[in-house]
Structure 1
Amino acid sequence: MIDSNRRARRERHGRFWFGTGLAEFLAAELKDSPERRIAAARLFAVSLIIATVSQSLHVPPLGALSLLVCLSYDAYANAGQSLAFGLRQLFYLFVTVLISVLALMLAGNDPWLMLSLSFAIMALALFHARLIAWPTGIALWYSIPVLYSPTTPDENLYHALWNIPVIGVLGLGSWTLVHLSIAPRDPRTLLIAGIADQLKAAETIFLGRLSDSEARRPRRASVKPSSIGLFGKLQTLLANSELLHVSIRRRHAAYLELLQEIDGLRQIALWLEQSLTEDYRAQPLTAEKRAVYAALQQACAILRQGFTNRQDLSDAVAALLDDEVLRRYAGTGQPTVLTAFWQALQRIAALMKRLHQPATDSDPAETETEPQTVYPAWLGYEFWQRHADSLQFGIKFSLGAILCMLIVQSLDWPDINTAIPTCLVAAQTSLGADYRLSLLRVGGAALGGACAYVYVWVFQSQFDSIIGFMLATAPFWALSAWITAGSERIAYLGRQLGFSFALFVLHDFGAVEDLFLPRDRVIGILLGLTVMGALDYALWPRRSAALARHHCIAALRTLAKLTVRLPDPGHLMSYTLPLRLAAEKDLAAAQDLLAHAVLEPDARQAGKMRERGVLRAIIRDASNLSALLLVRKRYRLLSGQQFDRFPEALQRHSRDFDAELAKTLAHTADVVAGEKAVDLYDADAIGQLLRQSYIRYHDIGSLPADLAMEWELRFLLDEQILNYLERLQIAASKSFPETSPGFTNR
């Protein structure tokens, strides 16, 4: 109760600042770091290049738009990511030019046909952007030449043919070249560093176990638990590396399997580190067990050295991991967690050897076959039904842009046409995210306008050359770059600051005289936000908490599929990996959505606050359960279990336990969705039957203490899974407190 009251007070006082005060928020978001300096330097260089070229070549209006484009992209991108992003956006730019020109040629002289066609084009562009989780560039770029001045189709055709390509060359070209020139980071180096960190974590845990039983134990090095999406980040680095390095592209499947094996090793090692009690750690290690731990620790060190130096040290690891050393400890037929470590490192060493061998085009492991379909999926009804939310997203924000264009034209006030791109830029994943971005957009525009007035009153009269212009505007570009280089919680404020300032000082060639521009820009933004806010709230409102609930439901249903027993380790890639990535993606999305839910109109109601607390608990417990299910799956496959040789009764109990886990998770998802009443499944009873079967079959009571403890760890893993299942069921029962009946035991 105390924690919930404290959380409620924190949400009330820090509603707009992510649970903190304004001073704490700014101190955290404006904090200096070496990475931020590099990112800010890149954005500063891009801004200065665009401003200088814009004034030198007399293309001022396009300079501000180019600046907005480049400030909207990731300043921390590595070399591969920068190149991929630049090429992809350039392709989309050409597509936008083609679509804009065709639309103007076909319907430019018919305003109502042009409106209808533009609505459909922008809706599909926004739908596509939402579908692939990519910036809404096509819709935004289309609106600039077509909707800004719909009464002048001939001029618009000229703008579509020349303005958009100029924006691409000036904005995208400058951004890509700067990122490839200023402290470029090779994604392969980052990938290898990530692999080395994973191996270092496992090595640290093994080294800690070797020192646990010493009389004067040294202070243990802490190992951070895996964060949500860590594996996905490494997979992204792999994709970026493939763009720059052909050798990695040819070995995609091997590298992906390697990432999975190393991540699995780290997960099991972390689970062991967190599960061992202090009393057990203090027990002396037998000589056989110490030899196994020493071999594991040395193998991790050798593999880490090999990956860091790009050397094939697999033979040294194979010689170190002699199966006879493991047999002296575990014997035969006794599954142990150390056996799982042993086999995992042997598999990693085999993959290292494979990566250093010449690639062959006929290697079956490197080729993937796509299922053949008679027609594209998007021609079927199921595709549109499954992505109905994304379609509604496109329709709603496209309609907002059309309405703003009509308002601007009816008022005959072209200087407030910033309302049109505001509707497209404010297109976010949820209502709360829309509101937060709107606040940042208004704040950035106002701050940029204030900077523009300071420039006019203080600096402009002091300089009359291009060098003077660069010196006078440099502090403002630096301020915008520094804020933009922050996290996504504040970066958009910097982007709007830079755009507002650029729109003012680059509006025309030479000195600035139109002092009304910042005022009209802010008015246009407020108009766009007002129209979009009303439309967003009235038409298919996408509540952050409701979307977070849907992602939680999807994650729970995905986790239910992770309980299936796999026949061999080869299925870890084909079956487990897609499910694991899907669950991580849903849990990460739900977590982000809850951060925006506090801004929605009824966020401070007791019921909404309680709902957010329940969803946070579900996300936390589901994430922990996901890690345990992955550990359990690898333990089964690599620990030396001979499942097909077990008695029929033991195999049946194991299958029943898996089925009960899957049924419980699926039912919990239905409860969170409000589709079923709370029904507490009793998987613990089946788990006890499975445990007794293992005890009788392996005669655990007569085993040495170390091997008996191995079985206690195996049983502890199941108990931890059951504990998280129970916590998820309790949280699910609170997700609809006004309608949920009491528990029913089964």
Structure 2
Amino acid sequence: MLFLRIFTRFVDNPGYHKPTIKTVALFPGNLDQASLRQVFERLAAFLRLELAPSPARWRATSRVVIACAIATTLVMTLQIPQGSWLIITILIVSQPDAGASIARALQRSAGTLLGGGFAIGLAITFPQQPWILVPFFALGLGYGIYLSRTSAAPYIPILGSMTMILAIGGVDTNAAEGIDTALWRFLNIGTGNLIGTLCQAFLWPEKPENLLRQHLAQSLRNSRERLDQSLRPASEVLTDPAILAESEERVMNSLATWTTWMQNAEHDQRQFRVHHDMIIELIGDINQVAIATQQISRASSALAVEGVATELPDMGRHAVEAAQDRCSQYAAAIEGRHWHAELDGLMPLADRFRQWMASTQGGGLTSDTNPHDLARASILSAATSAAEGLDAIPGATNFLRKPADQIRQEPFGATSSRPTAADPLFPEEKRFNPQDAIAATKATLAAMIAYIYINAIDWPGGITAVVTAILVSLDNYGAIIQKSALRFAGVVAGGLLALVAILAVIPNIESLPAFLIVTSVVFGIGAWVQAGSSRISYAGLQLSYAAALCLMPTHGPSIDLVPWLDRMLGVSLGIFCIAAVYAFFGEIRARVWSLDNVAETLRVMAQASRIGLRDRDPRSEEVVIQKFRYEIYRRIAFSYRLLSESCYEDWFDSDRAGAARETENLRRVIDRVRGLQRILLSLLWNRLAYQRHSNPALEGREAVEALGRTLPALLESFARQVEQPGERSSDAEKALDEFRRHQEIARDRVGAEALRSGLSADDRLAYERMRAQLGFYEHLETILSLLEKDAWALHVRQDNFSLAAWLRGSEQRRSAPSIRPA
């Protein structure tokens, strides 16, 4: 019953939105038939969603099945020892796109070479000397885990650490046996890399460029569907919380996925490297549209739950319909990789929404206290944001145009959009992060406890416990719980699947082709699961690996279940060791880390807000807006990912209602920062365009620039406010009041400027840009006012799981780990 309760919460927590559910009781006496039916209905809905077929999924599964069939044939015919390593290597390198598969294969080879070489050196130098071998293991393991948290290629050190442990599983292993094990595993891993990479590259290859374009286009189509929610009668609006939560999670995680595909595409095509800046711009614009339309869907659903229709005026309906058509047109052009000139001639959409906004009574969006009117105002505001994102898309589509039709749009002084260590605008990174060192120490302690235990009871098959302790020792409670659950569920499912094959089919097999059919079916099921989202893909990998251990322990069909039992018990032991260590020493909660990351994002924005002021050269190498945009996008995507991981912490939270409030309030804060980012970048480009004018004789210029100079301190004060949720910050209030005072002065000066006559054409253009700049400041003030209220209402509990937290008390943890390597 405990498993049913935990799995029910897993199904109902696909992202940061946590629906209200009926808790399944722990004791059989309280578990009636209706509750059981509800559990299995949720489970069925979850599996239908995650295991839904698609052409891309069929291709991915077919590639893995063919690669595993080739590997199985080699193992059985050539009598290769430890053949299951061929299978697990193929599964690991079988990434969603060919570029990622090649990179993963190279990293796996490098990690295996380093770990295997270190293990061979230890076996030769200290054979059967545990008092020396164990400390060296601990040092090598700890250093590998630390590097996996701090290096730009974390897969290499973590795999090197695991290879070192797996190559020499016991402290009494002699040198010859250790060297033989290490060499065979390195050979199998290298062969698996070759087979898996070739199948990924030549069998229905998924190029990262195509994946990026297809998913950008699909996001626009999904945005069109979400816009349609505001046009439907209340009875037809989507209100299912599970579907809404799934949609929100996909929007949350899309930014990180798209930037990863873009990076993989840059390895394959020079075209993507040349247009890196504009592709980042396109990704940001489409993500902005997705977030805005998700807000429209959420507000429409809130009204529909109460039986209230959105009741958009005719002007609003026509504007929304125009935005829907634009989504379809842009999606077709992006997916078809053909951007034609007619799309550049389309009228801007944002003007239509601004006219709609101006026609509303009073022109205000936040003053009304009627909740239904506030929801409609939220729809209008979000629709305007979506329109602005759609209007920006044509300027970021050079990689879809013919060379002669491409738009020249180079940022001032930008030679690269990636942040560099030499860039003075970015905070200096520390060479040594104590938090990462502490986290690596805790992971090493858990792994060594498992290692010493399995050697003390002479259990070679339990080496999986050490690997489990390494893999699930992640950087926050939510990520640890998620990966532990997926790992255990995959091992159990793979063993049960192999058990069915052993009992029903294996005894009747007398030839290799029949055995290949059985293993292909089993590995195909695992590959199908692995091709799903991050909520289930890791379970597919473990399913296939557990099945391979059962079906391929020898060089022929086997009915031995001991390897599977060893693996299942080893995984359980590894999870227990991790739980014991972290229950004592504690770890940061995902929500706390997400909040700290939001504060750091605001500090990066504060650094960026100095760009474009008159005392800075707009063509200086220091002024690279694209670098800031890339870093801000990365941090916002990371905050959303942490927010998603935080929901797994709620499995063991007694106050689930409080956890749901924390999640929703933190999501709102991140959404506000995402809105700040969009307006801030528009403001910075406006500033640089304004600086192109020679020296416009505009009286309002000094006032607008004085307003801009208050922005860095304002954003810094809000960063400190976010770090202290639930408390009113006098610094933030004073900085916001100072900003408003300068805003009033600038508004008066710019308004007086409009009454002047005799302005030259250049001065008139400068005046329009200055007025637009003031509009951006007003929009920033609105969002910051809302952020101040949201931060004050936010309460995020600290670590309440560990003994160390209980002894330390409820004080705020002042330093969170640094952002994961990009």
Please confirm whether the aligned pair reaches a TM-score higher than 0.5, indicating the same fold: yes
8 Å CA contact 2:255–2:633 kept in 1: the answer is no
* Aligned residue number for residue 562 of structure 1: 608
Structure 1 residue 720, shift from structure 2 partner: 2.8
* Aligned residue number for residue 693 of structure 1: 749
Residues 161 and 356 (structure 1), Cα distance of their counterparts in 2 relative to 1, 3 Å cut? farther
Determine which of 17, 20, 24 is the counterpart of 2:45: 24
Determine which of 9, 32, 36 is the counterpart of 2:20: 9
Distance 1:627 1:369 in 2: 19
* Aligned residue number for residue 701 of structure 2: 651
Determine which of 656, 666, 672 is the counterpart of 1:615: 666
1:46 aligns with 2:67: yes
Structure 1 residue 127, shift from structure 2 partner: 1.8
Distance 2:784 2:671 in 1: 12
Structure 1 residue 463, shift from structure 2 partner: 1.1
8 Å CA contact 1:229–1:585 kept in 2: the answer is no
Letter in 1 for 2:524: A
8 Å CA contact 2:529–2:537 kept in 1: the answer is yes
Distance 1:578 1:166 in 2: 42
Residues 595 and 702 (structure 1), Cα distance of their counterparts in 2 relative to 1, 3 Å cut? farther
Deviations 1:424-452 (A, max 9, x none): 22132321211121122222111111112
Structure 1 residue 489, shift from structure 2 partner: 0.3
Deviations 1:100-125 (A, max 9, x none): 22233333443122111111212221
Deviates more, 1:398-407 or 1:155-164: 155-164
1:160 aligns with 2:182: yes
Residues 574 and 255 (structure 1), Cα distance of their counterparts in 2 relative to 1, 3 Å cut? farther
Distance 2:222 2:20 in 1: 38
Distance 2:210 2:647 in 1: 39
Structure 1 residue 406, shift from structure 2 partner: 0.7
Structure 1 residue 174, shift from structure 2 partner: 1.8
Residues 128 and 574 (structure 1), Cα distance of their counterparts in 2 relative to 1, 3 Å cut? farther
* Aligned residue number for residue 355 of structure 2: none
Structure 1 residue 713, shift from structure 2 partner: 6.9
* Aligned residue number for residue 115 of structure 2: 96
Q: How many residue pairs align between the two structures?
A: 655
Structure 1 residue 487, shift from structure 2 partner: 0.6
1:141 aligns with 2:163: yes
* Aligned residue number for residue 722 of structure 1: 781
* Aligned residue number for residue 628 of structure 2: 579
Residues 550 and 262 (structure 1), Cα distance of their counterparts in 2 relative to 1, 3 Å cut? closer
Determine which of 595, 620, 623 is the counterpart of 1:549: 595
Determine which of 637, 641, 650 is the counterpart of 1:588: 637
Distance 2:784 2:167 in 1: 55
Structure 1 residue 395, shift from structure 2 partner: 2.0
1:244 aligns with 2:268: yes
SS for the counterpart of 2:451 is helix
Residues 346 and 521 (structure 1), Cα distance of their counterparts in 2 relative to 1, 3 Å cut? closer
Gaps of 5+ in 1: 1-5, 205-223, 285-292, 322-336, 358-363, 374-379, 741-746
* Aligned residue number for residue 667 of structure 1: 717
Distance 1:84 1:27 in 2: 32
Letter in 2 for 1:423: A
Residues 39 and 97 (structure 1), Cα distance of their counterparts in 2 relative to 1, 3 Å cut? same
Determine which of 494, 515, 520 is the counterpart of 2:561: 515
Deviates more, 1:181-190 or 1:159-168: 181-190
SS for the counterpart of 1:428 is coil
SS for the counterpart of 2:505 is helix
Distance 2:502 2:392 in 1: 69
SS for the counterpart of 1:72 is helix
* Aligned residue number for residue 538 of structure 1: 584
8 Å CA contact 2:636–2:670 kept in 1: the answer is yes
Deviations 1:26-83 (A, max 9, x none): 12111111222222222222332333322222235x3323323332345311x33322
Distance 1:486 1:283 in 2: 38
Distance 1:349 1:537 in 2: 52
Residues 570 and 426 (structure 1), Cα distance of their counterparts in 2 relative to 1, 3 Å cut? same
Deviates more, 1:519-528 or 1:674-683: 674-683
Distance 2:74 2:398 in 1: 53
Gaps of 5+ in 2: 1-16, 27-37, 225-246, 297-311, 347-384, 407-412, 423-427, 760-764, 798-809, 812-822
Letter in 2 for 1:691: R
* Aligned residue number for residue 324 of structure 1: none
Determine which of 433, 445, 465 is the counterpart of 2:511: 465
* Aligned residue number for residue 198 of structure 2: 177
Letter in 2 for 1:688: E
8 Å CA contact 1:460–1:511 kept in 2: the answer is yes
Distance 1:550 1:105 in 2: 47
Deviations 1:3-23 (A, max 9, x none): xxx9562496799x99x9323
Letter in 2 for 1:38: R
8 Å CA contact 1:339–1:638 kept in 2: the answer is no
Residues 458 and 569 (structure 1), Cα distance of their counterparts in 2 relative to 1, 3 Å cut? farther
SS for the counterpart of 2:624 is helix
1:734 aligns with 2:793: yes
Residues 399 and 546 (structure 1), Cα distance of their counterparts in 2 relative to 1, 3 Å cut? same
SS for the counterpart of 1:184 is coil
* Aligned residue number for residue 56 of structure 2: 35
Determine which of 68, 80, 94 is the counterpart of 1:59: 80
Distance 2:290 2:743 in 1: 24
* Aligned residue number for residue 75 of structure 1: 95
Structure 1 residue 702, shift from structure 2 partner: 12
Distance 2:756 2:336 in 1: 40
Distance 1:369 1:34 in 2: 34
8 Å CA contact 2:255–2:637 kept in 1: the answer is no
- Which aligned pairs between 1:187-206 and structure 2 lie closer than 5 A? 187-189=208-210
Deviations 1:454-482 (A, max 9, x none): 11111012111111111222221111111
Determine which of 650, 653, 660 is the counterpart of 1:603: 653
* Aligned residue number for residue 679 of structure 2: 628
Distance 1:497 1:340 in 2: 42
8 Å CA contact 1:127–1:391 kept in 2: the answer is yes
Structure 1 residue 506, shift from structure 2 partner: 0.9
8 Å CA contact 2:592–2:796 kept in 1: the answer is no
TM-score norm. by structure 2 comes to 0.68
Letter in 1 for 2:196: W
Letter in 2 for 1:518: W
Q: Considering only aligned residues, what root-mean-square deviation do their CA atoms show, in Å?
A: 4.9
Distance 1:167 1:468 in 2: 26
Letter in 1 for 2:464: T
Distance 1:421 1:678 in 2: 46
Deviations 1:305-343 (A, max 9, x none): 999469xx99x999x99xxxxxxxxxxxxxxx9999999
Deviations 1:188-232 (A, max 9, x none): 555677899999999x9xxxxxxxxxxxxxxxxxxx999567676
Letter in 2 for 1:243: H
Distance 1:431 1:148 in 2: 30
Structure 1 residue 646, shift from structure 2 partner: 4.8
Distance 2:549 2:288 in 1: 54
Residues 533 and 168 (structure 1), Cα distance of their counterparts in 2 relative to 1, 3 Å cut? farther
8 Å CA contact 1:392–1:540 kept in 2: the answer is no
Determine which of 456, 460, 463 is the counterpart of 1:414: 460
Deviations 1:390-418 (A, max 9, x none): 22232222222221111011112222222
Deviations 1:521-569 (A, max 9, x none): 2111111110111112322413222222221221222222332342677
